[in-house]
Amino acid sequence: MQLIKGGVCAPKGFLAGACHCGIRKSQSKSDLAIIYSKKKAQTAAVYTTNQVKADCIYVTKEHLENHEAQAIICNSGNANACAPHGRENALREGAACAQTLGISSEDVIVASTGVIGQELPIQCIEEGVSQIQLQEDGSDVAAQAIMTTDTRSKDCAVRFEIDGIPCHIGGICKGSGMIHPNMGTMLAFITCDVAIDAQLLQKALLENTKKTFNRVSVDGDTSTNDMCVVMANGMARNKPITMEDEAYASFKEALKTVMENLAIQIAADGEGASRLLSVTVYEAETEEQAETLAKSICSSSLFKAAMFGSDANWGRVLCAMGYSGVDFELSKVDVSFASQFGKIQVCSQGRGLDFDEEMAKKILSADSIQVLVCLGQKDQVVTCWGCDLTYDYVKINGDYRT
């Protein structure tokens, strides 16, 4: 498997583009994107677990009842959630895309991101969508158009082989705030040229989501608009994957690589974040135990604040583990911090160690920090990702709507 460039346009037969249609006041920021497949694609999706869902979620679910799609349209600047005429405007957005591309509106996935509760200015989309020029190198402009509080666009693509045939998977995503396990304010659009059965595509997406996007936490909030979509158009011309064989395993692993890469980019770009946190719990009794503990640590506001201050306050790690709801043997727990500047153990068998505070502060001043928790039980390992909690997070969210 090889990391390549191209994002959603890396697989054969996919084009992308974007424009500024007027949803956002800033004329310099694109706010409408389309991803298009030259052939109708088998399509799978997962959605937010929030009971309050944007109307585009319901429309997309209906359109994917046959597991097929040919295009994605996504606007930023307005979530079209709990908004006047929400369903009508979501349908109109999909219809505008379909008319522009000359396809059926039922083959369009509709996604939105932005402020909740405000009516979507649908006329801007209907009048502006024809400006979008779909291109074979249009992934980055599409990735920029779906951003909200993100500070940078996010993409990934891989090349791999199935039975000796070159195949490709590429993706873009957005996400910075309202990110929590079971997805957050994130949209991920993934394309591939693999021929695969729709049910197996859905299975691979669900299982990989649990181990990638659902292991990211920025701030403990889960949004109304979250969506992860995978389109597979079969243009690589591999023998169709119809069972869980070696070809399926190769595809699933490649998909996980892309999804994990995107998930880590989201964590690193958390609102106001100054550093990426990777929390690994190892020698756990079960995967579920390790995952729950790692998520609890990642989600702790006190721990995240300590990481912002480069403070090796390992007690907050144990505290977050203690209220996680799962059992573990405190007397076997070791805690270490690591980064490009070295590694230092701060806790052994549930008790504090004398350690070099200056060295610890240097290690925790890096842009990327590893928190290593050993349970001393069995052999399960899980990593979750998050970021520190900074002053800027409050500044960003204090006046987000206004």
Question: Is-contact 368 340, C-beta < 8 A?
Answer: yes
pLDDT-wise least confident of 20-29, 42-51, 374-383: 20-29
The answer, yes or no, to whether residue 396 has pLDDT greater than 70, is no
Q: Are 48 and 139 in the same domain?
A: yes
pLDDT on residue 127: 96
CATH classification at residue 12? 3.60.70.12
Q: Are 289 and 226 in the same domain?
A: no
Percent of all residues in the chain with a pLDDT value above 90, rounded to a whole number: 80
| pLDDT interval class at 216 (50, 70, 90) | confident
Residue from 185, 191, 280, 383 carrying the catalytic annotation? 185
| pLDDT interval class at 181 (50, 70, 90) | very low
Strands 187-192 and 154-162: unpaired
pLDDT on residue 359: 98
Q: Which of 317, 364, 318 is nearest to 337 (CA)?
A: 364
Q: Are 262 and 288 in the same domain?
A: no
The answer, yes or no, to whether residue 42 has pLDDT greater than 70, is yes
Q: Are 112 and 213 in the same domain?
A: yes
Q: What is the 3-state secondary structure (H, E, C) of 260-312?
A: HHHHHHHHHCCCCCCCEEEEEEEEECCHHHHHHHHHHHHHCHHHHHHHHCCCC
> What's the rounded mean pLDDT across residues 212-218?
81
Q: Which residue has the higher pLDDT, 386 or 39?
A: 39
What span, in angstroms and rounded, lies between the C-alpha atoms of 48 and 154?
A: 20
The answer, yes or no, to whether residue 54 has pLDDT greater than 50, is yes
Q: Which amino acid is at 21?
A: C
> In 373-396, which positions are buried (b, 16+ CB within 10 angstroms) versus exposed (e)?
bbbebeebebbbbbbbbbeebeee
Q: Are 18 and 38 in the same domain?
A: yes
Q: Are 259 and 280 in the same domain?
A: no
Q: Where are the beta strands (DSSP E) in 30-151?
A: 32-47, 68-76, 108-113
Q: Are 137 and 194 in the same domain?
A: yes
CATH classification at residue 362? 3.10.20.340
pLDDT on residue 115: 86
Domain limit, last residue, from 234, 252, 268: 268
The answer, yes or no, to whether residue 154 has pLDDT greater than 80, is yes
Q: Are 200 and 280 in the same domain?
A: no
| pLDDT interval class at 184 (50, 70, 90) | very low
pLDDT on residue 28: 75
| pLDDT interval class at 179 (50, 70, 90) | very low
Q: Which residue has the higher pLDDT, 389 or 260?
A: 260
3-state percent helix, strand, coil for the chain, nearest multiple of 5: 35, 30, 40
Q: Could you tell me the CA-to-CA distances from 65 to 20, 124, 321 in Å, in that order?
A: 31, 29, 40
Percent of all residues in the chain with a pLDDT value above 70, rounded to a whole number: 92
Q: Which of 82, 359, 326, 46 is nearest to 207 (CA)?
A: 46
Question: Is-contact 114 148, C-beta < 8 A?
Answer: yes
Q: Are 258 and 290 in the same domain?
A: no
pLDDT-wise least confident of 143-147, 179-183, 266-270, 333-337: 179-183
What span, in angstroms and rounded, lies between the C-alpha atoms of 346 and 353?
A: 5
Question: Is-contact 117 52, C-beta < 8 A?
Answer: no
Q: Are 264 and 290 in the same domain?
A: no
| pLDDT interval class at 175 (50, 70, 90) | confident
pLDDT on residue 393: 67
Q: Which amino acid is at 49?
A: T
* 106-126 confidence digits (pLDDT tens): 999 999 998 889 999 999 999
Domain limit, last residue, from 250, 268, 286: 268
pLDDT on residue 399: 65
pLDDT on residue 178: 44
Question: Is-contact 94 62, C-beta < 8 A?
Answer: no
SS3 (DSSP) at 29: coil
The answer, yes or no, to whether residue 176 has pLDDT greater than 70, is no
Average pLDDT across the chain, whole number: 92
Domain limit, last residue, from 268, 289, 320: 268
* 320-360 confidence digits (pLDDT tens): 999 999 999 999 999 999 999 999 999 999 999 999 999 99
Task: Establish whether 402 is a catalytic residue.
Answer: no
pLDDT on residue 24: 83
Q: Which domain holds residue 314?
A: 276-398
Q: What are phi and psi of 98, to 5 degrees?
A: -60, -45
Q: Which residue has the higher pLDDT, 319 or 149?
A: 319
Pair of tokens at residue 231: 């389109």
Q: Are 85 and 232 in the same domain?
A: yes
Cβ atoms < 10 Å from Cβ of 166: 14
Region for residue 67 given its phi and psi (left: phi exceeds 0; alpha: psi -120 to 50; beta: otherwise): left
| Total number of domains in the chain | 2
Q: Are 205 and 293 in the same domain?
A: no
